[in-house]
Structure 1
Amino acid sequence: MWMTRVKDRGPRLSYLSSGDWVALRQQQRKGKSRWKMVAFGKKLRETQIQEWQGYYINYKFLKKKVNRYAHQIEVGDVDRPSILRDFSRLLDCQIEKIVLFLLEQQGVLARRLFILGEQRDALLEQQEDGSKASELQEAYRGVGRDLLRLLFFIEMNAIGLRKILKKFDKRFGYKFMDYYVKTRADHPYSQLRQVFKHVGFGAVVGTISRNLSVLKDHQGSYVSIYDQPTLSHPDPIIDSINVAVHRLSNSTTFLHYVGKHALIMQEELPTPSEEGDDAEHRYHFMSLMLNLANTFLYMVNTYIIVPTADHYSLSLGAAATVCGVVIGSMAVAQVFSSVYFSAWSNRSYLKPLLFSSIVLLMGNTLYALAYDLNSLSILLIGRLFCGLGSARAINRRYISDCVPLKLRMQASAGFVTASALGMACGPALACLFQTDFRIYRITFNEDTLPGWFMALAWLVYLLWLWICFREPPPVPTEKTSSHGAKSGFLAIANDAVENGGTQPLLLNSKAKSDDGDEDEQEDNGDDELDKTQKPVTSIVSAYKLLTPSVKVQLLVYFMLKYAMEILLAESSVVTEYYFIWSTNTVAIFLACLGLTVLPVNIIVGSYISNIFEERQVLLASEIMVCVGILLSFQIMIPYSVPQYVGSALITFVSAEVLEGVNLSLLSRVMSSRLSRGTYNGGLLSTEAGTLARVIADGTITLSGYLGEHWLLNATLLPTLFICIASITATCFTYNSLY
């Protein structure tokens, strides 16, 4: 490997050749480099770069200090304020050591790039052959690999710092982490932020990227990466660096932001070795398109009846507010279908998708026939069948298992986009069904046509699925599925979440026994690794892994889905009562709300999320949802169209923004064991959202007994209460989202 070295540049860097780097990543993907949280100190020492040993966080020393503080409190030698001051000083010194070394190494890399720049200029002037240019390109890649090693160094220190803060809180019952993050992270001279967020490597990455692009065609015309942005990533090493920098700096793009809505976790760092990803041989483009088509059709199926559900209920002799039960019955069945479809996907993808299509075909047929049978029961059974056919768990799981890592974010974004388009197209299609005729005693009108149309759509989809879908080959049992694989420091990061409890354990005998055995556990931690890495096998086991941060994020997700369902499901009843809107007007209004999803995501994903922290956007969005709810109440003055439309727009858009950052944070704080298996994080979030819809639709129907003039305020009161509760809970866990 050709390499340029710089003299007198401080601590020397150890370089990995391309082959060594690929071998290391392959070893990590296969699970040979395994981690356990109790063995973090040992693993930190084993993975340290020898020349940099003195610059890592001294985790073992800090852990001993925590144990010593515990003993001192027990014997009464020191008070708690003194411990807080002393431990804060120790952490400040550790962080300062890391940051100053980081700045020094940035200078080393900059110096190397400066010398390589001189060699590049000489090469371009001499117009030599391509072999010299190839050597220079490899030298730039060498700098990129060392930059990745430096990012790994930062990540290991960030994990160690986060773990020792959680250990301190767990041992003493303090909220020391809240205090420390609040006082250090928001300071204008914050060194903590340098470790966790902004690492300042953009200029280095730009230099490497630009020069690799120049050297790729050094004899031809010069094309700048600034003029042609597509040239900014000419080498896989640049993609790897950008992923690592984005993780640390909280920077994102529209594609990544939208993809996070799917809660499909991106757990591995892309490297040149990813070309051998296990999912590569399981990937089939047409099967992926069929999977996304299923997502789109199901969302159309969900919202196509919203503008006409109240009128359909009245035609069958029920109250208009029974539309809440009609709409919500689909969500009731989805609570159960999500579980068995998630379990079924462990064995097959084609069979559950075929079953889903058949059940949805039957459900929509029953929904349409209920009019001529004059049976509300048939109507509800049809909607229950539609819910039993919900295959969203399959849709998520297929992307996780069968799409290569390099395409997984695009597929996740496609999943979210298909859902958003389906949500907008459903009400829009209802506008086209304003007709009334009969064929052989079967009525086709605005109430029944949504059912007949969706039945036909699922029949066509069923045939397309049967002909074109390719069942992916099974994953060998000795290998971990792509969405469950852990590599290097990412495994530690997820395990830190899993084992970083916050409940107080102030010096009871069990705590003392655990700490006394901790060093021994560090030496034998790998023996129990397989147990800690296995997916959970029940809802109860999954619940036990939920930390306070995860529970709060699930509450936030419940709140936003509840608020959106109240807004959408009662829109036809509310607008007809106050404004005498026709079905067409309601459908156009709902379609316009749905069409705001993608533009809002573009703005947030491309701009807002790169300016503010996700936790800041989260809290601001919750407050805006609360504002929208407050503006929706009808108090004293006559209710007007501008008030309703304006408040609905604020609530809906704010909830959409909230969903993106909420699921992004949820994927980051979720336990590693919840990223795979039947009872995974995607299933938990789906269940939380579905339960919110069920309760919201039930609230609409129950509120209808008070009369339509009370419906609006009666449904908004619980929505406001849940929103305030989620804002309060977010404030209590705000600093744990850092």
Structure 2
Amino acid sequence: MVAFGKYLQRKQIEEWRGYYINYKMMKKKVKQYAEQIRGGSQHPRHVLKDFSRMLDTQIEKTVLFMLEQQGLLAGRLATLRETHDAVLEQPDISKIVELRESYRDVGRDLLQLLVFVELNAIGLRKILKKFDKRFGYRFADYYVKTRADHPYSQLQQVFKHVGVGAVVGAISRNLHELQEHEGSFYSIYDQPVLPLQDPVVEAIKTAVDKLTNSTSFLNFLAQHALIMQDDLQTPSEDTIDERTYHFNSLLLNLGNTFLYMVNTYIIVPTADDYSMSLGAAATVCGVVIGSMAVAQVFSSVYFSAWSNKSCFKPLVFSSIALFIGNLMYALAYDANSITLLLLGRLCCGLGSARAVNRRYISDCVPLRIRMQASAGFVSASALGMACGPALAGLLQIKFKIYKLTFNQSTLPGWVMAVAWLFYLVWLCISFKEPLRDTEEQEGSNPNETTSMTDREENSRAVEEGLRKPLLITSGLKLEDEDEEDCDESEESAEDSRRPANSFGDAYRLLTPSVKVQLLIYFMLKYAMEILLSESSVVTSYYFGWTTSSVAIFLACLGLTVLPINILVGSYISNMFEDRQILLTSEIIVFIGILFSFNLFVPYTVPQYVISGLVMFVAAEVLEGVNLSLLSRVMSSRLSKGTYNGGLLSTEAGTLARVVADATITLGGFLGRNHLLNATLLPSLVICIGSIVATCCTYNSLY
């Protein structure tokens, strides 16, 4: 950890030194403002006005220099274009090679300019954060809102990068022409399916994407996993040895994710029939389904702690617990015991190893494929969610072997027990326990370990701003204070790098906007669980649907997950801000819930299907955008340890499922004719609360 002021000085280009934001001067001004307000010599309103004017001046200086440099780069490209045309008329290999290198030189200079923008963006974000922390104001919200949305905003020059995009396009197109057949082939516009694979252009595109928060389907899908990690780390700094990475172990980890989601949803279409066959009410299906989530609330914590030491043993325990739980679930029918049924589902919940699944990807998968692995985790969950009900719909047979009954109620338990048994055998044969950091260090030279640590500390801050959108609230992992102006002791600085040691510590690290996002996550999981868990009871009462019909409906809902994420990740998230998509999705969820009520007219299948589809799809969009925001703005201390960001989101979602399933069971006491409205009303209230909370923190969701 180094002071940001010193880091900024070290990374500045000497010739450009006068055009960087003067972070050190502004930091001293903040200290002076505090002393003046404390002494009564300055009114807070005058301080805000003076500080705003100073920031405007600093940003203007930086932006005008950036535009000047873009103009110089454009001039160089125009000159190269004249040479380029001459080379195309009379191709010469040596001239093509020389021209190509000249274009790459322009690209390298552009990359240097992007780093310049990055450093200034970090400095601006940090000084705003420091000002708010010192005075207790929400000045950053006001400043960004008033400057970013103004038609003459100079902040927009940094946000949009219009000029940069034009320069990137010119370099890319011209290099592509020179690449194909020595300058005599088509342009990038004629063959968009064959993109240019030039390392300089790729580096520039990556830098621009990081600064503008541009995203892709793969990146958007990977963020669903909320696998918290060090945002400063780059592939060249990856500490995971490629030789210790084991692909089969990753597949087994994803297999656990898939099977667990199948196990969760395979009983949904038949849980009401199973409950009635054991003498309970149909609405007890809420307790049957929710008991797995109740156990998961506790299992997530001990699995998260266990994953600090091992991944193999927790996965083995998970498989055994799920095997036993499914056996108990299947045997409850012949034992005529609702207690055994619930115990079986509780045992399945105790085997929830999703914390281990996330931890394996974040700690044991190389950075170059971590995004793909995270996307695989989310895809496995989505496919499991769709396959569970679909498989239940296929198990519509009945037979007996000795005293054991196999029917649509018990077959999900038997099938999953066999699946987990096969998985356990495959796990024991093929899984390779990853080498933990402590084991690596014990076998290495102490001097080498120290030097490696030093190299990591020195290089980790290189691409900070490029990895985050401008002015997000998570902050750079550098100390805010220089030696001459230190607000915190060495001990507190050390504490700021440690992971949270309890839920209390983790909660104290959450900003108001992050708390609102966790509330939104709770709301959407609650609404989705109500829709899915009571579907068999509601549809059989109103429409007389069979188990197969319910299974098809739920499977179709599950199959919308990946297409919706493709649409949002590839297009919508690049057209609108995350906070805009967030609020719009909440409003659509509200409309879907409102349209689902059975009030004055007879309830129809189109009303139920359309409202359910609208609610589910909007909630899925909301989940992706919400977790995308969370993964960027959560404290870096929540990227590691037992009580990490992934665990917090899992607990919020699991609690939502528990409360939703309890609501279904309690609503059953009012009768099946009132169940739908009784369960939708809490969903509506929570949704309204989340919309209000989002509006209250809207300006901080950047």
TM-score normalised according to structure 1 size:
0.86
Equivalent AA in structure 2 for residue 487 of structure 1: A
Match of 1:257 among 220, 235, 238: 220
Aligned match of 1:638: 602
Q: Distance in 2 between matches of 1:603 and 1:499?
A: 30
Structure 1 runs not aligned, ≥5 long:
1-33, 501-513
Structure 2 runs not aligned, ≥5 long:
442-448
Q: Distance in 2 between matches of 1:138 and 1:343?
A: 52
- Please give the per-residue CA displacement for 1:21-79, whole angstroms capped at 9, x wherever unaligned: xxxxxxxxxxxxx34xxx22332223222212221112222233333333333344443
Match of 1:364 among 326, 332, 353: 326
CA contact (8 A) 1:367 1:451 kept: yes
Q: Distance in 2 between matches of 1:598 and 1:655?
A: 13
Match of 1:83 among 47, 52, 65: 47
Percent identity of paired positions between Structure 1 and Structure 2: 68
Q: Distance in 2 between matches of 1:59 and 1:220?
A: 47
Pairwise CA distance, 1:349: 2.1
Pairwise CA distance, 1:527: 8.3
CA contact (8 A) 1:240 1:269 kept: no
- Please give the per-residue CA displacement for 1:152-191, whole angstroms capped at 9, x wherever unaligned: 2212222222222233333333332222222221222222
Pairwise CA distance, 1:474: 2.9
Q: 1:230 to 1:405 in 2, by over 3 A?
A: farther
Aligned match of 1:184: 147
Q: Distance in 2 between matches of 1:111 and 1:522?
A: 45
- Please give the per-residue CA displacement for 1:314-358, whole angstroms capped at 9, x wherever unaligned: 111111111111111111111122222222222222222222112
Q: Distance in 1 between matches of 2:543 and 2:605?
A: 7
Aligned match of 2:677: 713
Equivalent AA in structure 1 for residue 581 of structure 2: V
Q: Distance in 2 between matches of 1:195 and 1:167?
A: 21
Q: Name whichever of 65-74 and 355-364 sits farther off.
A: 65-74
- Please give the per-residue CA displacement for 1:496-543, whole angstroms capped at 9, x wherever unaligned: 84679xxxxxxxxxxxxx99x975355998887554333233222222
Equivalent AA in structure 1 for residue 121 of structure 2: A
User: What SS class does the counterpart of residue 438 from structure 1 fall into?
Assistant: strand
Q: 1:729 to 1:700 in 2, by over 3 A?
A: same
Q: Name whichever of 105-114 and 363-372 sits farther off.
A: 105-114
Q: Distance in 2 between matches of 1:142 and 1:178?
A: 39
CA contact (8 A) 1:212 1:234 kept: no
Aligned match of 2:464: 490
* Structure 1 residue 41 corresponds to structure 2 residue 15: no
Pairwise CA distance, 1:232: 2.6
Q: Distance in 2 between matches of 1:188 and 1:220?
A: 42
Q: Name whichever of 256-265 and 591-600 sits farther off.
A: 256-265
Aligned match of 1:92: 56
Pairwise CA distance, 1:290: 2.0
Match of 1:111 among 75, 83, 86: 75
Pairwise CA distance, 1:200: 4.2
CA contact (8 A) 1:239 1:270 kept: no
Aligned match of 2:622: 658
Aligned match of 1:61: 25
Q: Distance in 2 between matches of 1:598 and 1:673?
A: 31
Q: Distance in 2 between matches of 1:524 and 1:134?
A: 54
Q: Name whichever of 115-124 and 289-298 sits farther off.
A: 115-124
* Structure 1 residue 164 corresponds to structure 2 residue 127: yes
Q: Distance in 1 between matches of 2:575 and 2:20?
A: 30
Aligned match of 1:724: 688
* Structure 1 residue 234 corresponds to structure 2 residue 208: no
User: What SS class does the counterpart of residue 653 from structure 1 fall into?
Assistant: helix
Aligned match of 1:569: 533
CA RMSD of aligned residues (A): 3.0
- Please give the per-residue CA displacement for 1:87-128, whole angstroms capped at 9, x wherever unaligned: 222222222111111111212222333344444455555544
Q: Distance in 2 between matches of 1:266 and 1:198?
A: 27
CA contact (8 A) 2:232 2:462 kept: no
CA contact (8 A) 2:96 2:183 kept: no
Pairwise CA distance, 1:736: 1.4
Aligned match of 2:379: 417
Aligned match of 1:453: 415
Aligned match of 1:404: 366
User: What SS class does the counterpart of residue 484 from structure 2 fall into?
Assistant: helix
Pairwise CA distance, 1:613: 0.5
Aligned match of 2:445: none
CA contact (8 A) 1:354 1:465 kept: yes
Equivalent AA in structure 1 for residue 205 of structure 2: N
* Structure 1 residue 306 corresponds to structure 2 residue 280: no
Q: 1:632 to 1:524 in 2, by over 3 A?
A: closer
Equivalent AA in structure 1 for residue 508 of structure 2: K
Runs of 4+ in 1 over 6 A off after TM superposition: 269-272, 482-485, 491-496, 523-528
Equivalent AA in structure 2 for residue 71 of structure 1: E
Pairwise CA distance, 1:194: 2.5
CA contact (8 A) 2:286 2:665 kept: yes
User: What SS class does the counterpart of residue 567 from structure 1 fall into?
Assistant: helix
Q: Name whichever of 673-682 and 373-382 sits farther off.
A: 673-682
Pairwise CA distance, 1:631: 1.4
